[in-house]
Amino acid sequence: MNKEALIFPGQGSQRPGMGSELLREDNPDSIRQAAERVYEEGSDTLGYDFIDICNPTSEEDKRLFTTRFAQPALFTTEIAYLRVLELMGRKPEVVAGHSAGEYAALVAAGSLEFGPGIVLINERGKAMEEAGRQNPGQMIVVLGLGLEKVREICEVLGVEVAVINEEKQIVIAGRFADIEAAKDYIKSQGGRGRHLENISIASHCSLMEPAKRQMELLILNAPITNPQIPFIQNVTGNLAGDSLDVKLGLISQLVKPVNWVGTIRRMVEEEDVAGFVEVGPGKVLTGMNVRNAPGAPSVTAESVIFPSSES
């Protein structure tokens, strides 16, 4: 039987105003109240006003573009969308999340409750931001070159593959000077490098080792249970067998590449996924799936909830 998968974007997808479409006064009460409950619970748990963080009222408020605040704000917004989709009867059959999106995917899989989840991802955001201060670096997306060529470049220049988004859209990470040198070299090899927006650290590489050390025990002791539906992990692109698999994957992905191509292929080829809903702000993953899964249509949660939406 063909299945519908829910996929959850990671850091970089956050944007000012995210989630506000769920909170509009002209929405049905059920939609607005379901979203409000999520934002209220997240704000009460951490002591932040997440509606305020997601809707900055001045250009000086940059919290949404810092790792510390972006990750829990994105997580909260994704769960708000998830709760509304559940009201509409769109129950997930398979789930995956891109990087930080794995935490929301685990909530959808019945493996992690929202309260402990927002505490955990809040600690992740803080740990990664601190690791970025200790080991400053940056990320660029490499366009037009295949994985093997990008790996060769990384080996020569001392940078690392961080995310495999598409066959020829690969993110690399490393120290500032090394990434700038790689950007010039990539151009000489017929590709191009573009800096990632809304990400201020070098994620998914060895520069995040301090964050891994800080998060390891927190993740191992977290109340994460066996997923109730198939949960495909980023690092391996495989099905998580049990809660220990989940925890080890969350630890590894701090310093290892996100294999999004492998994740989507597993969902389509082995989990019988015939369609995707991107649960969160924007449509980054939906755009990738045009190439990663051309035979399985992808839509955004916003377009499901508000059919007249252009998203």
From the list 13, 98, 200, 204, the catalytic residue is: 204
99 is annotated as an active-site residue = yes
Give, for 251, the enclosing helix (H) or strand (E). helix 243-252
Between 101-108 and 67-87, two packed helices, what is the crossing angle to 10 degrees? 30
- Amino acid found at 79: I
Strand pairing category for 273-278 and 298-300: parallel
How far is residue 258's CA from residue 165's CA, in Å, rounded to a whole number?
8
How far is residue 205's CA from residue 120's CA, in Å, rounded to a whole number?
20
Exposure on the CB side of residue 258, measured as CA atoms within 13 A: 26
How far is residue 193's CA from residue 195's CA, in Å, rounded to a whole number?
7
From the list 99, 200, 203, 298, the catalytic residue is: 99
Residues catalogued as catalytic: 99, 204
